[in-house]
Each structure stands twice: as structure tokens, then as C-alpha cells.
Structure 1
């Protein structure tokens, strides 16, 4: 081997890779395109639009609903109610968990109550909510709080219980007590579990709201995305029913892939607490 060959360093060219966010986005687009293709093929194969409208027919109905039938307005009506119930449930859960962290009896009480009410489907208590609060927003808020409160409280309490003892000792050495100890030590350390609980609570709240609106809408038989789906089902506009369901999925993907992902990127992923 010549001296030039021996002195020339070997350069290994790494394989081309898309940036992290670009790769994830491309994979999601490919998955959605594959599912849309399977949907279209299944609809063409069955050839029964009243049962399974095609993907293209559903997208046409979705566009028509947005442009001409106030579908976006109905969606915002649902989201406005959902955000109220979701925020209320999170505040109540954090209050209960904070008390449970500081008191052993309160901790056992919270565990017992969560074990009692978490298996109870929120939609199952809708008749009671309608009896107590009538056919209005208050009934929806009641079932939404029930849907979000227990899984989020359980996840948050589990996150607080999992905080390493070293971090707890650091907080005590700095003289942190009470709310300051919870805010500066426990919440940052338990944030991955808290975010997980928020995502689970969102999913529970979204599906509970749509199911409840299928019964009586956002307020006394009107408004809301679920009511749009129910009304078109009664009129056998299956493509519009699928369009409403598609919008439910789109909103869910946006909240999961954009809102929660952004929060994770600027907190737990940036801090190296989550991959």
C-alpha cells in the first residue's frame, strides 16, 4: 500500500436522514395515506354508499359541511364546552392530589375514590346529570369532569409518588415546604406523568362529549359536532356522518400531534426526561 493510501483517512458517509420532526411527519402522512387507500378500496368493493361511503365522498361531504353547513361552528361549540369541563377537572384533580401528597389519610381516600369511580363510564351517569341539571351545558360539564378527573388524578398522583428521594431531599435542604415544595420540586419531576394524564384525560373528555352530544346536543337538542353526526344519521346522510367522524379524528390528531407534542418538546424532551 502506498504512503498516500496509508495517509488518506477513510471517510464514512452517514446515511441520509430526515430531521426528527420531518421523519415523523412523513411517516404519519404515509400511514394516513395507506389508511385512506384501504378505506377507498373497501368502499368500492362493497359498493354500498349507504353503509360505507368512499373516502373521496366523505372528503367532499366534509368540505361541503365546512363551507355550507356550519360544521366548523358546531365543532367550536363542542370544543368550547370541552375546554371548560377539561380545565375544571384538571384544577379539581390537582387540588385533590396536592392534598393527598401532604396527608396519608387523604392519599388513601383519593386512591379509594379513584378505584370506585374510574371504572364507571362517564356516559353511564348522563341520565343522572340530565335529571339533576337538565338538558343543558351543565350536564355536559358534569360528565366531562367525571371523565377527566379520575384518570388524570391517578396519573398525577403516580407521578408525584415516583419522584426520586434525592430530589425530595434537595427541596427540603432549600427549605421548601407546602405549595412551594410542590411547585418547584414535585411538579417538574412528575411532569411526564402529568402530561400523560392530560393526554388520557383529553381523549376521555373528547369521546365522552361526542357521545353525550349524540343524545341531546351541546344544549337542549342543538349545536355541537356530536349532534351534527346524530342529525345526519337520522336523515341517512352517511357521507356526512363519516365527515363528522373524520373531523373528530382530525381534531384529535391535531391536539395530540401539535398541542401536546409542542408542550412536550419545550419541557420534558428539552430537559431530557423523555425520549
Structure 2
């Protein structure tokens, strides 16, 4: 018999995934970046056609104003001051809403009370309470907190209550069979099952609170000694610095995009998407 030489078998390296255009286009982030780039081009072209920087500055001028306002005008500190107040009011409203909804789930009369209050106050614009807040609490942070709590409380309570009411009866029976009652029943059964509706309410409430805060700060700052991002916009508008006004508005939009696309998307991926509840 002839001897057969055996060659050493070496594993072939796996082919690297190619970064083709169709593969890149399937990413949501890439598509959104392209959309933002197209909007910037349209902005630049419209501003050049208008040719009136006092009324409509170009995109490049706005970027320059944004850099100058960030480095020398303290716009980032104004945005941080606004976000600090927003998070305070947001947290207070979320805690109140969860307490009200938990009571409404347990007691039918409290459910009627919550639904009646939601029907009354949810259509009322939060900024409409600003004159009363200024009369009651003065030109300071407590007045802004009152307006923010109103902006967040009712839409979030409505979304959370709707989510609780849509929990399947099978899951409710499982919780009762395990002897869960009161807060434990809400935490272990209702909250996980209603989480998609709760997250939707959180996003809607965030948008309401953010635009309400900016509108309120256009009247007065975060406090009597420090102005927020809305006050920064209003002050530059009075000085006819339109490029900085647009830079402030762009900052409002960027913060909203970051919260929507990064923060809430991260929470959704770690919860409802991971659990298979939402795609």
C-alpha cells in the first residue's frame, strides 16, 4: 500500500461582513443621519435664496453661532439648568401619576376620580397655568415645577391607566394565584405587562414637558438669578442675534433627539424589545 501524506487542515477565516450600501441603509441610525443631512442642505439652500441673515440665517452661520454660544456665551450651562428643572418636575409628576394610577386600579371610586380629573385637565395647556403659577409662587423654580407637573401628570397617568386596563385577565389570575395583592400586584404583574404603554406615556410626557419648559422660560428664567435655554433664546431675540436664536432652537431639537433616539431607545431595547413584547 502506498503511503498517503496527510496535510494539516487549517480552519479558514470567516469572511468579514461587507459594509455595502444596502446593509448600511438597513440601520435606522444611518437613515436618520441622511434625513438630517438632507434637512440641513434644504435649510442652507433656502437661507441662501432668502438672502436675509437677520430673518433666516444659513445653516453654516447657525453652526458658527452654536460654537460661539457654547464656548463663550454659556449656552450649555443654560441647557443644563433647564434640564435640571425639567428632571425635577418630571420625577415629581411620574411619582404622583404612579400613586394615583395604583390607587385607581385598587379602588373603583378612585378610578372614576382619576378619569374625571384627566378629562378635565389633560386638554388644558400647561402654559395656560403660567400666570397663576407666577401669582402664587413668584418668578422662580417652584412656578416652573408646577407647570411641568401639570404637563406630565395627566398624559402619563392616562397612558399608564390604559396600559393597566389592557393587561390580559390570564396574567391577572396568575398574580392572584400567587397571592399578590396591593403594591406587590402592581409591581410584579401590572407594570411589566403594561410597560409598552408606560414607555409611550413617558415619551409623550417628556415632549410635553420639554416644550412647556422652553415656552415658560421665554417669559422668565429658571430662577431669578439664572436663566435657562428658553431665556437664552429670548434674550438673543431681543438683541436681534437671529443666528444665536437658531442655535438655541437647534439645541432644543438636539436634546429632544438625544432623549428620544438614545435614552428611550436604550430603555426599550433592554425591556420590551428584549422580552419580545415590542419590535
Please say whether Structure 1 and Structure 2 have the same fold, judged by a TM-score greater than 0.5: yes
1: CA distance between counterparts of 2:24 and 2:165? 36
1:267 aligned partner: 271
82, 87, 112: which one aligns with 1:108: 112
Q: 1:198, 1:136 → 2: CA distance?
A: 26
Matched, 1:26 2:42: no
Mapped to 1, the partners of 2:221 and 2:55 lie a distance apart of 24
Classify the secondary structure of the residue corresponding to 1:18.
helix
Query: Structure 1 residue 49: deviation in Å?
Result: 0.7
Matched residues in 2 for 1:156 and 1:63: separation? 41
- What is the rounded CA distance, in whole Å, between the counterparts of 1:121 and 1:179 in structure 2? 32
- Pair 1:123-2:127 in alignment: yes
Structure 1 residue 18: Cα displacement: 3.2
| Corresponding residue SS for 1:216 | coil
1:223 CA displacement: 1.4
Q: 1:85 aligns with which of 89, 92, 104?
A: 89
Q: Does 1:65 align with 2:69?
A: yes
Q: Which residue of 2 aligns with 1:241?
A: 245
3-state DSSP class of the match of 1:215? Answer: coil
Q: Distance in 1 between matches of 2:156 and 2:60?
A: 38
Larger helix proportion of the pair: 1
- For residue 168 of structure 2, the aligned residue among 149, 164, 168 is 164
Q: Superposition pairs for residues 92-241 of structure 1, below 5 Å?
A: 92-220=96-224, 222-241=226-245
Tell me the distance in 1 between the aligned counterparts of 2:152 and 2:251. 22
Which of 51, 58, 71 does residue 54 from structure 1 map onto? 58
CA distance in 2, matches of 1:243, 1:254: 16
Per-residue CA deviations over 1:120-157 (Å, capped at 9, x if unaligned) read: 10100100000000000000000000000000000000
Which of 246, 256, 260 is matched with 2:260 structurally? 256
Task: Name the SS of the counterpart of 1:163 in structure 2.
Answer: coil
Q: CA RMSD in A?
A: 1.4
**Matched residues in 2 for 1:175 and 1:78: separation?**
45
Question: How many residues are treated as equivalent by the alignment?
Answer: 260
CA distance in structure 2 between the aligned counterparts of 1:66 and 1:200, rounded to whole angstroms: 28
> Aligned equivalents of 2:147 and 2:176: distance in 1?
39
Aligned CA distance change for structure 1 residues 128 and 221 (closer, same or farther; 3 Å): farther
Return the alpha-carbon distance in structure 2 between the equivalents of residues 186 and 222 of structure 1: 42
Give 1:19 shift: 7.2
Deviation at 1:195, TM superposition (A): 0.4
Gaps of 5+ in 2: 1-19
Deviation by residue 1:171-211 (Cα, 9 ceiling, x = unmatched): 11111111111000000000000000000010000000000
Structure 2 match to 1:13? none
Structure 1, unmatched stretches of 5+, are 1-15
- TM-score of the superposed pair, with normalisation by structure 2: 0.91
Q: CA deviation at 1:220?
A: 2.3
1:36 to 35, 40, 43: 40
In structure 2, relative to structure 1, the CA distance for the partners of 1:120 and 1:58 (3 Å cut) is: same
